[in-house]
C-alpha cells in the first residue's frame, strides 16, 4: 500500500473566472507558465477538452525525481469545475474548483486525494521524509500560481476553446 496524501491548495487571482478557467482548461499550455510541468501529451486527440479527455504529464519540482502520471477528465463544468482521475506515480482524484471572488477576481481551489505508488517515495515518507514531500508539493503549487499570474500580467490569453464539449 502506498502513502495517502490529501492537499487543498487555494489561489486567489485578480482576473475574471473565465480567464482563470481557460488557463486551467488549456492543459497543453501548462508548461509555458507552470515551470514544474516539463511536458504534457494529449492522449485523446479527438477530445482535447471536456469529459473523457486524457493527458500524460511529466512534472519535476525541487526533489531529484520526475513524477510521471496520466489523467482522465471525469467531470467538466465550465467555468467552475474539472475533476480528474489520475494514475501512474500516484493514483486518486484531483479537481479544480473555481468561483468568482469579488469584482474581477477568482478563487481557485485544487483538491487532491492521492496515493503514491513508487516504492522508494513511500519508503522515504515512512522513515521521516513525508514533510519534505509535502513541502515539495507546496513549492510546486506556489510556482504554479506565480507562473499563472506572470503569464496573465504579460497579457497571455489561452486559445479559444470549443465550449460545446
For the chain, the domains span 4-153
Domain covering 4-153: architecture = 2-Layer Sandwich (3.30)
Distance of CA 21 to the CA centre of its chain: 12
Q: Do residues 84 and 73 make contact, with C-beta atoms less than 8 angstroms apart?
A: yes
Count of H-run helices and E-run strands, the chain: 4, 7
Per residue of the chain (165 residues), give pLDDT as tens: 899 999 999 999 999 999 999 999 999 999 999 999 999 999 999 999 999 999 999 999 999 999 999 999 999 999 999 999 999 999 999 999 999 998 899 999 999 999 999 999 999 999 999 999 999 999 999 999 999 999 999 988 877 644 433
pLDDT of 160 reads 63
Q: Which three cell numbers stand for residue 56?
A: 500524460
pLDDT of 105 reads 97
Give start and end residues of each alpha helix (H) in the chain. 17-25, 30-33, 119-124, 130-153
Amino acid at each position: 500500500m502506498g502513502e495517502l496524501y490529501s492537499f487543498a491548495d487555494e489561489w486567489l487571482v485578480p482576473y475574471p473566472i473565465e480567464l482563470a478557467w481557460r488557463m486551467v482548461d488549456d492543459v497543453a499550455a501548462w508548461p509555458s507558465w507552470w515551470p514544474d510541468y516539463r511536458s504534457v501529451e494529449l492522449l485523446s486527440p479527438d477530445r482535447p477538452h471536456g469529459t473523457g479527455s486524457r493527458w500524460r504529464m511529466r512534472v519535476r519540482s525541487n526533489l531529484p525525481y520526475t513524477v510521471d502520471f496520466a489523467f482522465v477528465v471525469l467531470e467538466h463544468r465550465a467555468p467552475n469545475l474539472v475533476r480528474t482521475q489520475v494514475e501512474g506515480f500516484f493514483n486518486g482524484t484531483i479537481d479544480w474548483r473555481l468561483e468568482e471572488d469579488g469584482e474581477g477576481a477568482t478563487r481557485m481551489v485544487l483538491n487532491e486525494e492521492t496515493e503514491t505508488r513508487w516504492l522508494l517515495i513511500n519508503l522515504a515518507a515512512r522513515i521521516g521524509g513525508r514533510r519534505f514531500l509535502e513541502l515539495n508539493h507546496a513549492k510546486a503549487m506556489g510556482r504554479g500560481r506565480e507562473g499563472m499570474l506572470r503569464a496573465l500580467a504579460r497579457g497571455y490569453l489561452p486559445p479559444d476553446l470549443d465550449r460545446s464539449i
